[in-house]
Amino acid sequence: MRLKVVLLGEGRVGKTSILFRYIRNEFQEKQQSTLQASYMDKTVEVGGTKASLSVWDTAGQERFHALGPIYYRDADGALLVYDITDGDSFVKVKKWTKELRKIVGPDISICIAGNKIDLERNRQVNEKEVLEYAKSVGASHFYTSAKQNLGLEECFKELAGKMIKR
């Protein structure tokens, strides 16, 4: 089974870093902004079912927003990423959720990742608000750190499981 996942979120929240850490176990402090979308594959096994995930990284800067549909139109699932130290980046997650549900439909599996959890001391996004929001839209929520390799396996496993069950 081949499943397509699209990474969406504001610029600099860590989408490329999540992809590199999850697939290659690499991390760069000076990761450059993405200008052109690309993808990487990884095989996952959930509950005895094997799936090949194509994980698409997209450009988060606002000027690229209109390209979103090209990548998410035929996606099975989306990982919506925000940075826990940046309140605006969570507002953007809400926008993506609305857009996905409206254009792709209620069927697309969504997980939300609160990235940069290694910077907990600088947290701006209220935990309770996020968890309530995720629940209200039927999305799972995970805290992740691409830097310290936290939460990523769990997050992609959950998303793969949701997509397989669809």
Of positions 97, 109, 115, 140, contacts ligand GTP by CB under 6 A: 115
**93-101, 110-118, 120-128, 156-164 -> range binding ligand GTP (CB under 6 A):** 110-118
* Identity at 136, one-letter amino acid code: S
> How far does CA 143 lie from the centroid of its chain?
11
Identity of the residue, 13 or 104, whose beta carbon is nearer to ligand GTP in the bound complex: 13
Question: Minimal distance in Å, beta carbon 41 to ligand GTP?
Answer: 18
> How far does CA 100 lie from the centroid of its chain?
13
What mask of x and - would describe binding to ligand GTP in positions 40 to 59, judged by CB under 6 A? -------------------x
Half-sphere exposure of 94 (CA within 13 A, CB side): 12
**Residue 61 sits in the site that holds ligand GTP (CB under 6 A):** yes
What mask of x and - would describe binding to ligand GTP in positions 5 to 34, judged by CB under 6 A? ----x-xxxxxxx----------xxxx-xx
How far is it, in rounded angstroms, from Cα 116 to Cα 68? 23
Tokens of 70: 């090209």
- Facing residues of 46 across strands? 49
What distances in angstroms separate CA 134 from CA 18, 22, 87, 96, one per listed residue?
A: 20, 22, 15, 13
Question: Minimal distance in Å, beta carbon 149 to ligand GTP?
Answer: 9
105: left (phi over 0), alpha (psi -120 to 50) or beta: left
Question: Minimal distance in Å, beta carbon 166 to ligand GTP?
Answer: 26
In degrees rounded to 5, what are phi and psi of residue 5?
A: -120, 135
What mask of x and - would describe binding to ligand GTP in positions 126 to 155, judged by CB under 6 A? -------------------xxx--------
Question: Minimal distance in Å, beta carbon 1 to ligand GTP?
Answer: 27
Contact set with ligand GTP (CB under 6 A): 9, 11-17, 28-31, 33-34, 59-61, 115-116, 118-119, 145-147
